[in-house]
Amino acid sequence: MAKWREAEQQHGLRSRVYVPILRELVRRFREPGSQRVEFTVRDVRQVADDLGIEIGNAPDLVYRMRARTRLPDDILDMGFTILRGVGRGRYALEVGGEAVVHLPEHEILGHNDQTPLPVRRLLPESLVDLDEQGLLTMVSYCKLLDHFTGLTVYRLRSHVRKSVPNVGQAELDEIDVGVAMRDDDIPVVFPIEAKAADEVINRVQIATAVAYCQTYFPGHQIRPIVIKLTYDGVMHFLEFRSTTALAGLRAINSCGYRLHPSKKQLELIRKTQATLDQEAVEPSRIDFGEAEGSK
């Protein structure tokens, strides 16, 4: 089986904010034998105050502990692996299977980098350095979603953030639509999650994206897709079953793409980067004084 150079969640042992708060939430709200610990954003703030921990954005605890930081071993030993929203300002830690999705073995295809020169020269030469928005930009210009899905795909919205019943706030990197191969011409909806090289794929995010689309695009076919960049510069595409049941979320189609830049692209990228390095200056400051000539 192929061994991709995937990211791993940080162990969290050095966390002085999120891990202590989560541990205290479990201590306070877990009932013996329960497979679910529920808490609210107000509970997070209260625990933080009681522990003398300053937390700027309380809901960020769930995002960080789900996407960035591995759950502590003592919590995992209780069987808790799933952390998700269950309503507006309400969350649950649940017993379940592994939350992180690992890349399957699949074919890696070569593909010319078709990103326009004015755009490509301002993006990192090494794809490993791309953030999620840079990744989505190159995917769009190179028509990789079209190739992967077999449809003509168009971007509908980016940075989607909206409340979903029984879930809470859903955040999607992008929503695309494809031309459906049906007589009624109803478009296929593609909720897209993009993951940079240092991020992991989490089942909860996929299920949340599906729940969002079921709520706001009823009657449409939904095909959730994750685009994951690995440390070897490969863009991996995974399409999942359209379900909100975490146990039923599995990849039904996948492949990887390795982009090949042209000599002209490489020349301009390196030239632009050299210029930027040479002309690095003191960061600009905003002048809040009165405009010249004003009274």
92-124 pLDDT, tens per residue?
Answer: 998 887 888 899 999 999 999 999 999 999 999
Strands 235-240 and 251-260: antiparallel
Residue type (1 letter), 247: A
- The predicted structure's pLDDT at residue 100: 86
162-218 pLDDT, tens per residue?
Answer: 999 988 888 999 999 998 766 677 899 999 999 999 888 988 899 999 999 999 999
3-state secondary structure 62-77: HHHHHHHECCCHHHHC
- The predicted structure's pLDDT at residue 63: 78
pTM for the model? 0.80
| CB burial readout 103-133, b (16+ within 10 A) else e | beebeeeebebebeeeebbebeeebbebbbe
What is the signed CA dihedral for 113, 203, 132, 151, rounded to 10 degrees? 40
Higher pLDDT pick, 69 / 241: 241
Give the residue-averaged pLDDT of 121-145: 96
- The predicted structure's pLDDT at residue 66: 77
2-38 pLDDT, tens per residue?
Answer: 556 665 555 555 567 888 999 999 999 998 888 899 9
Most confident of 53-57, 139-143, 241-245: 139-143
Average pLDDT, whole number, for the chain? 88
Q: What percent of the chain has pLDDT over 70?
A: 88
Give the residue-averaged pLDDT of 228-242: 96
- The predicted structure's pLDDT at residue 294: 56
Higher pLDDT pick, 119 / 281: 119
| 3-class secondary-structure state, position 276 | helix
> Does position 1 have pLDDT exceeding 50, yes or no?
no
